[in-house]
Amino acid sequence: MEVIIKKNNFKGGVHPPEYKYFTEHKSIENFPLPEKVYLLLQQHIGAPAKPIVKVGDKVRTGELIAEASGFISANIHASISGEVTGFKEFIVPFGAKVQAIEITSDGEDNWVELDKREWQRLSPKEIIELVKEKGIVGMGGATFPTHVKLSPPPEKKIDTLIINGVECEPYLTADHRLMLEEADKIIDGIKILMYVLGVDKAYIGVEANKMDAIEHLIEKTANDPIEVVALEVKYPQGAEKQLIYAITKREVPSGGLPADVGVVVQNVATAKAIYDAVVEDIPLIERITTVTGSIVKNPTNYRIRVGTLISSILDTVGVEYENIAKLIMGGPMMGLTLYTDNFPLLKANNGILVLSKDEVKREEEYPCISCGRCVDVCPMNLLPTMIASSYRKKEIKLAEKLGALDCIECGSCSYICPAKIPLAQQIKLAKKRIITLKKKAKS
Amino acid sequence: MGVGKLVVGPGPHIRDRDDVKTIMWWVVISLMPALIASVLFWGIRPLIMTLISVVVAVGSEYLFSKLFNLPIRIDDGSAVITGILLAFNVTPNAPWWIFAVGSFFAIVFGKMVFGGLGYNPVNPALAGRAFLMASWPVIMTADWIPANFLFKGPMGGIDGFTSATPLNVYKYNQLTIDQLKEALMPLFIGNVGGVLGETSAIALLIGAAILFYKKIISWRIPFTYIGTVFILAWIFQKSGAQFTKDFWVEPMFHVLAGGLILGAFFMATDMVTSPITPKGQIIFGVGLGVLTYLIRRLGGYPEGVSYSILLMNLTVPFLNKLTIPRIFGHKDKK
Using the 8-state DSSP alphabet, how is residue A312 labeled? H
**Window from A46-55, A222-231, B99-108, B192-201 with minimum mean pLDDT:** B192-201
Cβ-Cβ contacts under 8 Å, B285 against chain A: none
ipTM, 2 dp: 0.92
Residue count of chain A, please give it. 443
Q: Is 90 exceeded by the pLDDT of residue B191?
A: no
pLDDT tens figures, B84-132: 999 999 988 889 999 999 999 999 999 999 999 999 999 999 999 999 9
pLDDT range class, residue B242, cuts 50, 70, 90: confident
Q: What mean pLDDT value characterizes chain A?
A: 95
Q: Is 80 exceeded by the pLDDT of residue B33?
A: yes
Q: Is 50 exceeded by the pLDDT of residue B230?
A: yes
Which pLDDT does position A405 carry in this prediction? Answer: 97
Closest by alpha carbon to A66, among A36, A85, A43? A43
Query: What CA–CA distance (Å, rounded) separates B128 from B118?
Result: 17
Query: What CA–CA distance (Å, rounded) separates B104 from B120?
Result: 15
Cβ of A107 under 8 Å from any chain B Cβ?
no
Cβ of A414 under 8 Å from any chain B Cβ?
yes
CA distance, residue B16 to nearest chain A CA (Å): 5
| This prediction's pTM | 0.93
B68 and B35 in contact (C-beta within 8 Å)?
Answer: no
Interface touch B276/A326, C-beta < 8 Å? no
Query: What CA–CA distance (Å, rounded) separates A52 from B174?
Result: 96
Q: What mean pLDDT value characterizes chain B?
A: 88
pLDDT range class, residue A427, cuts 50, 70, 90: very high
Q: Is 80 exceeded by the pLDDT of residue A14?
A: yes
Query: What CA–CA distance (Å, rounded) separates A84 from A86?
Result: 6
pLDDT tens figures, B261-298: 999 999 999 999 999 999 999 999 999 999 999 999 99
Q: Which helix (H) or strand (E) holds A102?
A: strand A97-105
Which pLDDT does position B164 carry in this prediction? Answer: 62
Q: In what order do the strands lie in the sheet with A226-231?
A: A5-6, A226-231, A202-207, A160-165, A263-267
Query: What CA–CA distance (Å, rounded) separates A23 from A31?
Result: 15
CA torsion sign for A309, A315, A316, A318 is positive
Interface probe for B, chosen from A338, A369, A395 (most Cβ of B below 10 Å), is A369
Burial code of A368-386, b = ≥16 C-beta within 10 A, e = fewer?
bbbbbbbbbbbbbbbbbbb
CA distance, residue A17 to nearest chain B CA (Å): 9
DSSP symbols for A106-151: -SS--BPP-----GGGS-HHHHHHHHHHTT-B-TTTT--BHHHHTS
Query: What CA–CA distance (Å, rounded) separates A332 from B18?
Result: 18
Interface touch B4/A336, C-beta < 8 Å? no
Query: What CA–CA distance (Å, rounded) separates B44 from B201?
Result: 20
Interface probe for B, chosen from A366, A423, A431 (most Cβ of B below 10 Å), is A366
**CB atoms < 10 A from the CB of B277, how many?**
23
CA distance, residue B77 to nearest chain A CA (Å): 13
Interface probe for A, chosen from B73, B269, B276 (most Cβ of A below 10 Å), is B276
Which pLDDT does position B177 carry in this prediction? Answer: 85
Phi, psi at residue A352, to the nearest 5°?
-125, 115
pLDDT range class, residue B157, cuts 50, 70, 90: very low
Cβ-Cβ contacts under 8 Å, A170 against chain B: 14
Q: Is 70 exceeded by the pLDDT of residue B205?
A: yes
Q: Which long-range contacts (CB under 8 A, 24 or more apart) does A439-442 make?
A: none
Phi, psi at residue B260, to the nearest 5°?
-60, -45
Query: What CA–CA distance (Å, rounded) separates B88 from B266?
Result: 11
pLDDT tens figures, A195-232: 999 999 999 999 999 999 999 999 999 999 999 999 99
Q: Is 50 exceeded by the pLDDT of residue B161?
A: no
Interface touch B325/A381, C-beta < 8 Å? yes
How many beta-carbon pairs below 8 A join chains A and B? 175
Which pLDDT does position B333 carry in this prediction? Answer: 52
Which pLDDT does position B160 carry in this prediction? Answer: 35
State the distance between the two ends of chain A, measured CA to CA, in whole angstroms: 60
Which pLDDT does position A364 carry in this prediction? Answer: 86
Cβ-Cβ contacts under 8 Å, B333 against chain A: none
Interface probe for A, chosen from B1, B5, B6 (most Cβ of A below 10 Å), is B6
The percentage of chain A sitting over the pLDDT mark of 70, rounded to a whole number, equals 100
- The mean pLDDT of B231-236, rounded to a whole number, is 95
pLDDT tens figures, B38-50: 888 878 889 999 9
Contacts of A87 (CB under 8 A, 6+ apart): A51, A55, A99, A100, A101, A102
Which pLDDT does position B1 carry in this prediction? Answer: 56
- The mean pLDDT of A413-438, rounded to a whole number, is 96
Cβ of A57 under 8 Å from any chain B Cβ?
no
Cβ of A396 under 8 Å from any chain B Cβ?
no
pLDDT range class, residue B300, cuts 50, 70, 90: confident
Which pLDDT does position A169 carry in this prediction? Answer: 96
Better-predicted residue by pLDDT, B140 or B22: B22
Which pLDDT does position B293 carry in this prediction? Answer: 96
Query: What CA–CA distance (Å, rounded) separates A172 from B226?
Result: 46
Cβ-Cβ contacts under 8 Å, B278 against chain A: 375-376
Q: Which helix (H) or strand (E) holds B23?
A: helix B20-30
Interface touch B13/A328, C-beta < 8 Å? yes
pLDDT tens figures, A333-383: 999 999 999 999 999 999 999 999 999 987 889 999 999 999 999 999 999
Cβ of A318 under 8 Å from any chain B Cβ?
no
Query: What CA–CA distance (Å, rounded) separates A86 from A36?
Result: 11
Task: Locate the chain A residue with the closest alpha carbon to B18.
Answer: A418
pLDDT range class, residue B146, cuts 50, 70, 90: low
B160 and B146 in contact (C-beta within 8 Å)?
Answer: no
Query: What CA–CA distance (Å, rounded) separates B32 from B85?
Result: 11
pLDDT tens figures, A255-294: 999 999 999 999 999 999 999 999 999 999 999 999 999 9
Closest by alpha carbon to B226, among B191, B272, B262? B262
Q: Is 90 exceeded by the pLDDT of residue B325?
A: yes
Which pLDDT does position B200 carry in this prediction? Answer: 83
Q: Is 80 exceeded by the pLDDT of residue B324?
A: yes
Q: Is 70 exceeded by the pLDDT of residue B66?
A: yes
Which pLDDT does position A129 carry in this prediction? Answer: 95
Which pLDDT does position B270 carry in this prediction? Answer: 97
Task: Locate the chain B residue with the closest alpha carbon to A253.
Answer: B329
pLDDT range class, residue B145, cuts 50, 70, 90: low
A236 and A412 in contact (C-beta within 8 Å)?
Answer: yes
Cβ of A95 under 8 Å from any chain B Cβ?
no
Cβ-Cβ contacts under 8 Å, B13 against chain A: 326, 328, 332-333, 335, 337, 353, 355, 360
Which pLDDT does position A72 carry in this prediction? Answer: 86
Which pLDDT does position B11 carry in this prediction? Answer: 85
pLDDT tens figures, A133-175: 999 999 987 788 999 999 988 899 999 999 999 999 999 999 9
The percentage of chain A sitting over the pLDDT mark of 90, rounded to a whole number, equals 89
Cβ of A246 under 8 Å from any chain B Cβ?
no
pLDDT tens figures, A61-116: 999 999 999 888 899 999 999 999 999 999 988 778 999 999 999 999 999 999 99
Which pLDDT does position B47 carry in this prediction? Answer: 94
pLDDT range class, residue B141, cuts 50, 70, 90: confident
**Window from A253-257, A353-357, B143-147, B310-314 with minimum mean pLDDT:** B143-147
